[in-house]
Amino acid sequence: MEAQSSSGPLLSRKRRREGSNGEPEDGERLGKIPRCTVGLKHPAPFADELEPAEGKPYKRVSMEEAQRGTPPDRPVRVYADGIFDVFHSGHARALMQAKCLFPNTHLIVGVCSDDLTHKYKGFTVMNEDERYDAVTHCRYVDEVVRNAPWTLTPEFLTKHRIDFVAHDDIPYSSAGSDDVYQHIKEAGMFAPTQRTEGISTSDIITRIVRDYDVYVRRNLQRGYTAKELNVSFINEKKYHLQERVDKVKRKVRDVEEKSKEFVQKVEEKSIDLIQKWEEKSREFIGNFLQMFGPEGALKHMLKEGKGRMLQAISPRHSPSSSPTHDERSPSPTFRLPFFTKTSLSPSPLPDHSGARGYPISEDDDEDDDEN
């Protein structure tokens, strides 16, 4: 109980920030919650284990007083009851809303027994001890009443010094009554909460019944026997066969996925190789045309070599500015003074070509013409 009282101020601050259903109010900024180790360390006690409080005076508080806030030593005692079978988040949210109804709240939770529940509502998945234990470990619960009554009587309300009863506002028809909380509403002691849509004990049981084969096979794999699951011998073999078939299907599916991945990788690699081959082939063709094409480098090299060969084997032409034969000055003739023209006897001169000849000057040519 000390841990509960020490966590009271923290819960009060949280309740002031939240609305009646435990959700943040509009306009409030949602921020990071600081790390805190303050909290309940023990489950909530049972009502029959607490010290009796008959000797203490008790007077109910009004709704205005409860909403305004009561002294720390006089919390508002709110009662919420239920079956709480297969305890889930919908139950926890309902109890959270009941805890957050007022700034200073002591939440008492009543849990009906198996006999009463099976009589008025039906068979449960969890027995009463399991349901009691589940509720005591809820962080919002301060006290648990075992074997709670199906209909609240004035004597029960007085015994547990209850100020308000929290429950959703939908009429709850049971035990021959259209609404078992009608007299609580008329007395002004009813505090409505909101149901959590999409989650309930009936919904969870519906899922299990709908997927019965799946859950039976699941538990058979985990070591439960067919007797524990109330499964016949034939159905047990059928489930084992189905499990083997499913394993084969999963393996085939895995192989197909892996083969698809392999084919996809091969396609990607082949596309890359084709693209690289195309790039290299275009580069090779371009280089080939650049070398051996009509205007390629090889043709220019051949032309240049041919021109050099022709230039090397052909004689040089006289320059266009050189004088002609007639315009050229006569070559000088050297005569000895003691020789005459007629006494000049030609002497053979060696010829580099191997023929013997005589030198002939231009003056001799002219003399021959005159004769």
Q: 244-275: per-residue pLDDT in tens?
A: 888 888 888 888 888 888 888 888 888 888 88
Residue 161 Ramachandran class (φ > 0 left, ψ -120 to 50 alpha, else beta): left
Where is pLDDT greater, at 22 or 283? 283
Q: Which of 132-136, 300-304, 306-310, 340-344 is least confident?
A: 340-344
pLDDT at position 99, please?
A: 96
Q: Which residues pair with 167 in a beta bridge?
A: 192
What are the structural domain ranges in the chain? Answer: 63-199, 202-304
Residue 318 — pLDDT band, cuts 50, 70, 90?
Answer: low
Residue 211: both structure tokens together = 């997927």
pLDDT at position 113, please?
A: 96
* Second CATH level (architecture) for the domain 63-199: 3-Layer(aba) Sandwich (3.40)
Cα 340 from Cα 344, distance rounded (Å): 6
Cα 345 from Cα 336, distance rounded (Å): 13
Q: Identity (one letter) of the amino acid at 132?
A: Y
Cα 342 from Cα 349, distance rounded (Å): 19
Cα 290 from Cα 296, distance rounded (Å): 5
